[in-house]
Amino acid sequence: MESARIIATVTRVVRDIGIAEELAQDAVVAALEQWPREGVPDRPGAWLTTVARRRAVDLVRRRELYARKLAEVGRSLEDVPPPPDPAEPDDIDDDLLRLVFTACHPVLSADARAALTLRLVGGLTTAEIARAFLAPEPTVAQRIVRAKRTIAAAGVPFEVPTGEDRAGRLASVLEVIYLVFNEGYAATAGEDLLRPALCEEAMRLARVLAALMPQEPEVHGLAALTELQAARLPARTGPDGEPVLLAAQNRARFDRLLIRRGTEALARAGVTRPDAGPYTLQAAIAACHVLAPRWTDTDWPTITGLYTRLEALNPSPVVRLNRAVALSYARGPAEALALVDALAAEPALRGYHLLPSVRGDLLARLGRPSEARAEFQRAAALAGNDRERDLLLDRAAGLDG
């Protein structure tokens, strides 16, 4: 939970993301050694950051970099005029946001930016990032290593950019925040369905961006999407942490404050604009779900239309799969099944457990239980999250009769 803040703080000191990550890991090792004997400190995050800072000084001295760093700073002070006083009004004193923008520098490819930031800011494992990208784990691991080396070699400054540079990096930053939120909303692996801390961090970063760039509709769209989706978190799991499907969720447990914030952000984003972006459209879909008083009141024709608009902007197989689900409730499962069957040959969906899960649901609704059971079992075999796997196996078992 503290790793991203530690890495961000130490990066500001050492100006090297790779070194900062190593020092953060060293601090955790020190905690594992000392805390069992001495107890957990009142402020564990501050303790870890302090240890990481001390390790940074030791590392610099050991590698004889201290003198060189001082010399570089001295030369830079001679060659570069001091910054204006007061500071630029849009400067943000937020190390985490600096870390995100640094990891999203144009010197990296789009995939590398997202993977590196998920690793540093989201604290995700390489395996989790690979599942998020639907990519092989070794490929993602190499991508992250190369990204760190590239940033270090290019001397990328640890800062929030201004002007056109900031706008150019915005799309990558939004993508990263979106992927971090998604990992918290539906964990790709492990025993827990949800990772609320990741959702909260993504919402916080989205709010900071919205305050920084109030004229950017998609920033408000992303803020709306994260908050409207997070509003359902209390109802998405049962007493023992088991998943609860949307149709069975207790809507009285939806977070009304987040719904209000999300709908206000959606209004600022402007979903009725003909050029509304993908985050804004997804936020509008989320609003349809949380604003419906009951499952049976869900406006599926509107949701289907929003997915059609989204597919025009982002013609990905995952979007087409989601549109098929909405279509199944708007027009019936038979028409939707034909769309899902057409996605079976998509390479990006090979190994994607939601494809057979959706197909199983459609087959069950069409009165074809034996075929549906096989699809749920196949989805369970592909699922990386224990809770999702159990749910899928329960659904398969429920069709035995």
Q: Which two tokens stand for residue 219?
A: 């920033």
pTM of the entire predicted model: 0.75
Nearest to 355 by CA among 331, 330, 380: 380
Contact 386, 190 (CB under 8 A): yes
What tens-digit pLDDT sequence spans the chain (401 residues)? Answer: 677 778 878 887 777 888 888 888 888 898 899 999 999 998 888 888 888 888 876 776 665 555 565 566 555 545 544 433 333 434 444 787 888 888 888 889 878 888 888 888 777 788 888 876 667 899 999 999 999 999 988 888 888 888 777 777 888 889 888 988 988 888 777 777 888 878 888 898 899 888 878 899 999 999 999 999 999 999 999 998 899 999 999 999 999 999 999 999 999 999 999 999 999 999 999 999 999 999 999 999 999 999 999 999 999 999 999 999 999 999 999 999 999 999 988 998 989 999 999 999 999 999 999 999 999 999 999 998 899 999 999 999 998 65
Contact 11, 17 (CB under 8 A): yes
Q: How far apart are CA 282 and CA 325, in angstroms?
A: 14
How far is Cα of residue 169 from the mean position of the Cα atoms in its chain?
A: 17
Q: Amino acid letter at 240?
A: D
DSSP 3-state assignment of 82?
coil
CA dihedral 302, 303, 304, 306 (to 10 degrees): 90
Q: How far apart are CA 309 and CA 278, in angstroms?
A: 9
Q: What is the pLDDT of residue 285?
A: 97
Partners of 166 in the β-ladder: none
